[in-house]
Amino acid sequence: GAVVSQHPSWVICKSGTSVKIECRSLDFQATTMFWYRQFPKQSLMLMATSNEGSKATYEQGVEKDKFLINHASLTLSTLTVTSAHPEDSSFYICSASLWEGTDTQYFGPGTRLTVL
Amino acid sequence: EDQVTQSPEALRLQEGESSSLNCSYTVSGLRGLFWYRQDPGKGPEFLFTLYSAGEEKEKERLKATLTKKESFLHITAPKPEDSATYLCAVQAYSNDYKLSFGAGTTVTVRA
């Protein structure tokens, strides 16, 4: 149980284009999902908290107009990187908690984004 | 601000050579301390949650312990498949279930 998937697992795009990453909880409903990014040899940095049916909460320094998050259902959250640039190249990982008020986050396999 | 410091950065072990990883933390009101394992190019895999000082949890060759200022992850008689980066994270009561991660300890176990 507690399986989280992400799609795509990797994507290469041209500078200036937008990329959408999906995060799904496969065997449970997730009221809250989290989005992280991880640069090589570094740890995970929280970008935003996504709650079903409401606006995402972004961490300080994360541009909400650049990283659009939508949590339309209890099993799906999406992250859209708009007008991507090479500096946005990173490993993006989502996580989900089993139910609201539960502390343990289960992580997806990650999406490798490369912007040329 | 929550702070998590992991040491050492890297650990090279011979198969069967037991060792410990350290996670020191500063947090205002600890809700939980988490250990994850991350393989290259993959998302973190949940290992343990510890809630209070004195608590211990075990899973196969791994054992996690918690004090008021730090946590240890003990690896007993490691095997090459235990090679990974081990991440420690804390969650504060005041922080809406957000996790603050340490930089991780990369463990390499040689056969």
Residues of chain A in contact with residue B43, where contact means CB-CB under 8 angstroms, are 4, 6, 93, 95, 107-110
pLDDT of residue A99: 64
| Chain A residue with Cα closest to B87 | A43
The answer, yes or no, to whether residue A101 has pLDDT greater than 70, is no
Q: How far apart are CA B71 and CA B33, in angstroms?
A: 8
Question: What is the average pLDDT across A29-33?
Answer: 86
pLDDT of residue A84: 96
Of A42, A95, A104, the CB nearest to B49: A104
pLDDT of residue A104: 85
- How does pLDDT run across A36-89, given as a tens digit for each residue? 999 988 889 999 999 888 889 999 999 999 999 998 888 999 999 999 999 999
Confidence of residue A29 (pLDDT cuts 50, 70, 90): confident
Q: How far apart are CA B16 and CA B1, in angstroms?
A: 38
Of B42, B97, B103, the CB nearest to A32: B97
Residues 6+ apart with CB under 8 A from A110: A6, A9, A38, A91, A92, A93, B41, B42, B43
DSSP state for residue A27 in the 8-state scheme: S
Rg value, chain B, Cα: 13
Q: How far apart are CA B18 and CA A6, in angstroms?
A: 35
